[in-house]
Amino acid sequence: MPRLFSIILLAVTSVMPSFALAGSSEAGKSVLPAAEVASFSNRVQQDLAARGARVAIVARMGRDPKVLPRGVQYTHVSFWVYSQITHADGSTGRGYQAYNLYQDADNKSRSSLVQDSPADFFAGAHRLDAGVIIPDARLQKKLLKVISSPTYSALHNARYSVLANPNTSQFQNCTEHTLDVMMAGLYSTNDVPQIKANIAAHFEPQKIQVGGVKRLLAPVASQALTTADHGSKIATATFGSIARFMQDNDLETNTYRITPDKVIRF
């Protein structure tokens, strides 16, 4: 029996790394050449600035899409806010700051709120391909109000799950925190039960197909893979599901993909 369990667990961990490694990890050493990452992060910043975005939702591709669940393309989402930036040499300027929820390095089942630069944001990208949502002017104003207030950090739940159910408060991932902040802005509330009720009523999360055995054993491989907050079906917030929600409710002015050489309507 122990040998059979080991074989099954090995099978699960060989199939599930797309979940385990697709979480919102803080950037370390660049996977791609640093100069390419810097150039691309500047391209995204310049594109946002040209469109007059004070705040945008930006997603990075941290894993090869071929190994991700169907319907999932991007693995990390954050707010980018046009801000006053202080550089390492003490000089100041204007640019975008990324507001992230990242898994803790020493405990992947916990998370922290971290601000970093666009170059840091893309440092762990598998491919230089970003998803971008620019909210309409009214929502941008509401988002900026929430992000600059205590509500932003108060909506953070440090119990992390890659597949967090956005309808509950048991766990949270980066995309769910983004959604919670958006709902706080839309409904002018910091009441978590009300935010979750609004999400359940109006937001359709992305369905994720995970077999029964994989679902049972995934937490053994990583506590960040727990699905304890789900019923018989698994669904989580993703960049795509947030984009669809915003498009369906006329909450965005632009939703697109940007690569080093082109911009494509999402």
Instruction: Name the pLDDT band for 84 (thresholds 50, 70, 90).
Output: confident
Does the pLDDT of residue 189 top 50, yes or no?
yes
pLDDT at 261 > cutoff 50:
yes
Average pLDDT, rounded, for the chain? 86
CB 185 within 8 A of CB 142: yes
Residue 107 pLDDT more than 80?
Answer: yes
Per the structure, the complete domain to which residue 224 belongs is given by 2-265
Confidence of residue 266 (pLDDT cuts 50, 70, 90): confident
Q: pLDDT tens digits for 142-156?
A: 999 999 999 999 999
218 against 6, higher pLDDT: 218
Scored b (16 or more CB within 10 A) or e, 129-141 reads bbbbbbbeeebbe
pLDDT classification of 11: cutoffs 50, 70, 90: very low
Distance of CA 159 to the CA centre of its chain: 15
For 9-13, 49-53, 125-129, 241-245, which range has the lowest pLDDT when averaged over its residues?
9-13
Q: Which residue has the higher pLDDT, 5 or 22?
A: 22
Domain count, the chain: 1
Q: How confident is the model at residue 65, as a pLDDT? A: 79
Q: How confident is the model at residue 246 (pLDDT cuts 50, 70, 90)?
A: very high
CA distance 205 to 202: 10
Q: Using a cut of 0.85, tell me whether the model's pTM lies above it.
A: yes
- Model confidence over 41-79: pLDDT tens digits? 999 999 999 999 999 999 999 888 777 878 889 999 999
pLDDT for the residue numbered 229 = 85
Which SS3 state, helix, strand or coil, does residue 167 take?
coil
Q: What tokens does 246 get?
A: 């915003």
Which secondary structure element, helix H or strand E, spans residue 34, and what is its range?
Answer: helix 34-50
